[in-house]
A and B are shown apart, each in its own frame.
Chain A
Amino acid sequence: MLQTYEYPEFPYTQSDEQKNGVVKRHPAIIIGAGPIGLTTALDFAQQGIPVVVLDDNNTVSVGSRAVCYAKRPLEIWDRLGCGQRMIDKGVIWKIGKVFRQDDLVYQFDLLPEEDHKIPAFINLQQYYLEEYMIERCKDFGDRVDLRWKSKVISLRNEADHVVLQVETPDGVYQVEADYVVSCDGANSDTRKMLGLDFEGQFFQDRFLIADVVMKADFPAERWFWFDPPFHPNQSVLLHMQSDNVWRIDFQLGWDSDPEEEKKPEKVIPRLKAMLGEDTEFELEWVSVYQFACRQLNDFRCGRVFFAGDAAHQVSPFGARGANTGVQDIDNLAWKLKLVRDGKAPEALLDSYSEERVFAAADNLKHSTQSTDFITPKSKCSTFFRDAVLALAKEHEFARPLVNSGRLSMPTPYEKSSLNTPDEEAFAGKMQPGTNCADAPIRKDNQEGWFLNQIGERFSVVTFGDAPAIDTLDIDGIPCDILVVGKDFEDSKGRLTERYDGKNGTTYLIRPDQHVAARWRSFDKDKIATALNRATCRL
């Protein structure tokens, strides 16, 4: 098979503590150096928390795997200093088309709104994404200690720390951590070592993924076929990636043999049927997968936190796996920082589970619904699905019922105990618990973006007349005060529009760029109470 990418091999070096046989306690250990583990490393490091990352391998993701990255995780990676590189290398897309046989039955546009820094979606092979994050880790020097070929073989919660046994090419050593973040994927050993239930729904259908290198004139759109002439009675998905690599995903059905289906002599005829006999292409990577929809009931077990697929697993339709995992970390990092610094109680760490279990359940629901549409489980369900598709071409009402995967959007923490409910009415989509909308701004005569002005610390953003103070410190938690029109200009009026900003309108924004509270006037006492609620100090 052709290789458009050369896999790096990261050097294993024996750690000093293993060499010297001295057990060391680290502030945070991250298990797994995939997209979620690396995001954790970057976010913790940026918060000033030194991390050790343990990974049993010594390279990046083999195969393009996750591919689709959504706006919100890209905004998080932008905050962590590596989002732009991913966007520059990736393929930007926002249009999705759904076909039934040869007919276009439904089309969606993921981001019809102008004036956002980050696109709706990019497609990028997972190995690039991981490589860029690993390179970004180097900017933090010793604060990120990446240990390759280091496999956690046991783990135990103690009252105020976690004890781990790690196996390396030099043998087994013991290490301790104040906190552990388990990012070791759907088959998480950490989860098994702690004996946690991970129950859910398993799906029988098998899918074939082929990464194909070709010069093709398909547009940069997501194309999904139900029952296409080149692969009757099944579905097919097409995505463009970097370097002229295309992702093609064939539904195979229940009774296919995964080993047989992976063979080039089996894959190539399928591709020729789709692309035409004359299209020149080469296979780069082939895989057959099955999936399950399941999640942990609690993402915290003592001093161990679960994030990404280790905590929740969904079907691939809608690109909800890695995208949700990145948002887990966005939620966790600032909370751990405040608790570690003694500025917030342990209860704040429980809110990680509260908010992210809620988000995972929402994802799981969407993902299961898509799966039921794409792979109906009964004859009756198939009839309804086919009726929707048959009606969709002529009758507009049926188009929103077509579900080829609802693409990953952030789940608002609408019921979170950290929110302060509105006292007055606001127009627009924002509310306490939603992630902040971006908008273009101008600062020091330079064009910029609102989301780059906030994050990592609490911020108060206020519209109109400036308050008498320009910083706040609420019992040891500093809070930036940003006055729209003074600290930066709302260059296109989008911020005012998206935040329903009137004279006096004031938002309290969490370090993860979510709305904690908002009012129609600047009131220091109300801000303090809301910040205390958002940090479990009430």
Chain B
Amino acid sequence: MALNTKPNIADPDRFYQSLIDCHRDLSEDQSQRVNSKLILLLSNHIGDEAVLKEAMAIACAESGA
């Protein structure tokens, strides 16, 4: 299975809003904590290491790292 980079979320605006909402009123550190947990939860759900590595590669390339 390869990383799905085609649109896959039924209601993109609603998803995006809920992502922003869960950081509302949080400090930088609190947001980092939330994001760290989110990444771990979602990574475990995906499980497939090849897919996760593909996602990491794209994320790291775009950050310029």
Q: Which of B36, B41, B44 contacts A383 (CB 8 A)?
A: B36
Q: Which residues of B contact A401 (CB under 8 A)?
A: 40
Q: Is the CB of A391 within 8 A of B32?
A: no
Q: Is the CB of A388 within 8 A of B33?
A: no
Q: Which residues of B contact A387 (CB under 8 A)?
A: 33, 36-37, 39-40
List the A residue with the shortest CB-CB distance to B31.
Answer: A383
Q: Which residues of B contact A380 (CB under 8 A)?
A: 32
List the B residue with the shortest CB-CB distance to A401.
Answer: B40
Give the size of the chain B interface in residues (CB under 8 angstroms).
9
Bound-complex Cα distance A391 to B34 (A): 11
Q: Which of A386, A395, A398 contacts B33 (CB 8 A)?
A: A386
Query: Which secondary structure dominates chain B's binding surface?
Result: helix
Bound-complex Cα distance A154 to B33 (A): 55
Number of A-B contacts (CB under 8 A): 28
Give a binary string over B40-58; 1 marks a CB under 8 Å from any A CB, 0 the rest. Answer: 1100100000000000000
- Tell me if A12 is interfacial: C-beta within 8 Å of chain B: no
Q: Which residues of B contact A289 (CB under 8 A)?
A: none
Counting chain A CB atoms within 10 Å of each CB, which of B32, B36, B41, B44 scores highest? B36
Closest CB-CB distance, A358 to chain B, in whole Å?
23
- Tell me if A390 is interfacial: C-beta within 8 Å of chain B: yes
Closest CB-CB distance, A220 to chain B, in whole Å?
33
Bound-complex Cα distance A503 to B40 (A): 48
Q: Is the CB of B40 within 8 A of A398?
A: yes
Q: Which residues of B contact A386 (CB under 8 A)?
A: 33, 36
Q: Which residues of B contact A395 (CB under 8 A)?
A: 41
Closest CB-CB distance, A112 to chain B, in whole Å?
24
Give 28 CB contacts A-B under 8 Å: A379-B32, A380-B32, A383-B32, A383-B33, A383-B35, A383-B36, A384-B36, A384-B39, A384-B40, A386-B33, A386-B36, A387-B33, A387-B36, A387-B37, A387-B39, A387-B40, A388-B40, A390-B33, A390-B37, A391-B37, A391-B40, A391-B41, A395-B41, A397-B41, A397-B44, A398-B40, A398-B44, A401-B40
Residues of A whose CB lies within 8 Å of any CB of B are: 379-380, 383-384, 386-388, 390-391, 395, 397-398, 401
Give me the 10 closest cross-chain CB pairs, A-B, nearest first: A387-B36, A397-B44, A383-B36, A387-B37, A383-B32, A384-B36, A387-B40, A391-B37, A383-B33, A391-B40
